[in-house]
Structure 1
Amino acid sequence: MSDSAVPDFFDRFAMRAVTSAQLDAVLDEDAPPLTILFLWGRDCPNCDIAKRALLARPDRFHWPAVRWLHDNVYDDEAMAHRFGLHGIPVFFVFRGARKIGRITSWPGPEAFVEAIDKQIAELQT
């Protein structure tokens, strides 16, 4: 379910919905080397800021080496507990099934892209 402030976000920015119960199996799938898991909540103002930034320049946030997943942690409290969340939005970066990073809150488009570009560059070394 999307929130009221950015109701068409997931129609316009392709992310696969996943639940806590599904996450391990999804991370084990054959997929691009990196996965970004976007944990958000309905009617979360800070989540809306991130969504609007992603929609403003969606091309900046699509990398061939990355797949996007998302979960509304208000509807899936198990996911929030799994990662010990104290606030949203939060973005977890995985290489395969291994968590390699966490971006807490929305750092802005430049910092976000820089962090993901760094992880992609490390894949090539």
Structure 2
Amino acid sequence: MSPQQTGLSQALGIRAIGSADFDRRILEAGDALAVVFVWASSCFNCGVAQRELLAAADEVRALGLAWFEAGAHADPELATRFVLHGTPSFFFLHRGFTLGRMTGWRGLDGLKIAVAAARTKMGS
């Protein structure tokens, strides 16, 4: 199930992104840390991640991220670009540079750790 279908896109302001507009959309995020949530409709843990993110929407919004989402099977070019090993995957980017990734859902605490690690790289 896509973030649009779960209400997650509205709760977090997640916007769809694809290989055709990827670089432009990431640059439009400006100084914000961008996170690309790559999901698959057949992925059980993607649904778990979506439900937990939605349940903690206020806390997730407080992280100040620019959220994007892409379906892994709908855009194989994007999946290949990031050497996708599984879903869900979260890629952290800033001004066009990939700062990190989190493959699998490690809960909200895992997301916060990944965000902090990416933000550390933003400063270097």
- TM range, normalised to the smaller chain? 0.7 to 0.9
Other structure's SS at 2:6 match: coil
Query: TM-score normalised to the size of structure 2?
Result: 0.84
Residues of 1 paired with 2:83 and 2:12: CA distance?
26
Residues of 2 paired with 1:60 and 1:33: CA distance?
17
Tell me the equivalent position of 1:107: 106
**Residue type matched to 2:46 in 1?**
C
Task: Compute the RMSD of aligned alpha carbons.
Answer: 2.3
**Residue type matched to 1:76 in 2?**
D
Tell me the equivalent position of 2:71: 72
**Residue type matched to 1:96 in 2?**
R
Alignment of 1:30-69 (within 5 A): 31-63=30-62, 65-69=64-68
Residues 47 and 88, structure 1, Cα contact 8 Å, conserved in 2: yes
Which structure is higher in helix share? 2
Residues 32 and 64, structure 1, Cα contact 8 Å, conserved in 2: no
Tell me the equivalent position of 1:23: 22
Query: TM-score normalised to the size of structure 1?
Result: 0.83
- Of all paired residues, the percent bearing the same amino acid is 30
Residues of 2 paired with 1:52 and 1:7: CA distance?
8
Other structure's SS at 1:20 match: coil
Tell me the equivalent position of 1:83: 82
Offset at residue 123 of structure 1 (A): 4.6
Where does the alignment leave 5 or more consecutive residues of structure 1 unmatched? none
Residues 65 and 120, structure 1, Cα contact 8 Å, conserved in 2: no
Q: How many residues align?
A: 123
Where does the alignment leave 5 or more consecutive residues of structure 2 unmatched? none
Residues 39 and 89, structure 2, Cα contact 8 Å, conserved in 1: yes
